[in-house]
Amino acid sequence: MPAEKLLLFDIDGTLIDTEGAGLYSLAEGFFNAFPEFQGKPFPALDLGGATDGSVVAFLFESFGIEDHEEHRTRFFAAYSVALEEKLGRFEREGKGRLLEGVPSLLEELRGGDHPYHIALLTGNTCEGAGIKLRHYGIDHHFSFGAYGDDHPDRNALGPVALKRAEEVHGLGLSPENVVIIGDTPKDIACARAFGARVIAVATGGSSEQDLRDCAPDFLLSSLSDTAAVIAALAQVFTQGET
């Protein structure tokens, strides 16, 4: 039996494309939580690879709102309500989707004869991640994750994921037995920050060239070909082994 491995999936642009439902929900949630700012312009957000924890810090700074627990709780509660509603509405309008190949890949990774455990490493809050994955029917594949409300800096989330792997599954994994699968340069940086391997997938906001420039261990145009992803994983974990 080969050594156990952990695959940490990003969500937006990697597993799903909400086609903007997340961004709209951040804005709607914000104005519902802090109605005194309604009518003011909502600042442009660079969401690719960002954590929701860092986004809320940026919003509070932009609007001059004191950043403390009660305000954060109020914001994220309103965001979650908006997100549920928005995902449903977008679906009725034919917007938002699971990315191609994702359901079959997840089925294969969990059901096939592989040494892989799968979990999440995402900038979404734990609750936001659950809402999105439940909406698209893939939440049951993931028993734990590291989230954007664990730490505002994505680069701090790898060690959080390793700690949860130990708590939830008793997995004492070293970082070289972990691969992050994500769609932005920030996913690649996050893997490098704790010594994990990384597969970049060009189904989000970053082009193949932008991702290649960040030197991931493997680059895929999409996750549509399950066999190709399985082969990429095998290669990535073999690289550097002696």
| 183 contacts Mg ion (rule: CB under 5 A) | yes
Helix (H, G, I), strand (E, B) or coil at 121: strand
What residue is closest to Mg ion based on CB? Answer: 13
Choosing from 6, 7, 10, 34, the residue that interacts with Mg ion (CB under 5 A) is: 10
The structure tokens 């932008």 sit at 210
Give the span between the Cα atoms of 184 and 72, in whole angstroms: 26
Q: 142-178: b or e for each residue (b if 16 or more CB lie within 10 Å)?
A: bebbbbbbbbbebeebbebbbebbeeeeebebebebb
Give the span between the Cα atoms of 13 and 33, in whole angstroms: 27
- Closer to Mg ion by Cβ: residue 12 or 52: 12
Choosing from 5, 7, 13, 237, the residue that interacts with Mg ion (CB under 5 A) is: 13
| Cα of 222 vs its chain's centroid, Å | 16
| 17 contacts Mg ion (rule: CB under 5 A) | no
User: What is the nearest approach in angstroms of Mg ion to the Cβ of residue 34?
Assistant: 27
- Could you tell me the two tokens for 70? 């009660």
Options 59-67, 90-98, 133-141, 181-189: segment touching Mg ion (CB under 5 A): 181-189
Options 13-21, 92-100, 145-153, 191-199: segment touching Mg ion (CB under 5 A): 13-21
- Closer to Mg ion by Cβ: residue 13 or 128: 13
- Closer to Mg ion by Cβ: residue 12 or 217: 12
| 52 contacts Mg ion (rule: CB under 5 A) | no
- Per-residue binder mask for Mg ion (CB under 5 A), 197-216, x = binder: -------x------------
Q: What is the dihedral of CA 57, 59, 61, 63, to 10 degrees?
A: -150
| DSSP H or E run through 23 | helix 21-33
Provide the β-strand partners of residue 121: 146
Contact of 49 with 187, CB cutoff 8 Å: yes
Options 4-12, 64-72, 96-104, 218-226: segment touching Mg ion (CB under 5 A): 4-12
Choosing from 7, 8, 12, 149, the residue that interacts with Mg ion (CB under 5 A) is: 12
Give the span between the Cα atoms of 165 and 144, in whole angstroms: 8
Helix (H, G, I), strand (E, B) or coil at 66: coil
Options 95-103, 160-168, 178-186, 222-230: segment touching Mg ion (CB under 5 A): 178-186
User: Which residues contribute to the site for Mg ion (CB under 5 A)?
Assistant: 10, 12-13, 183, 204
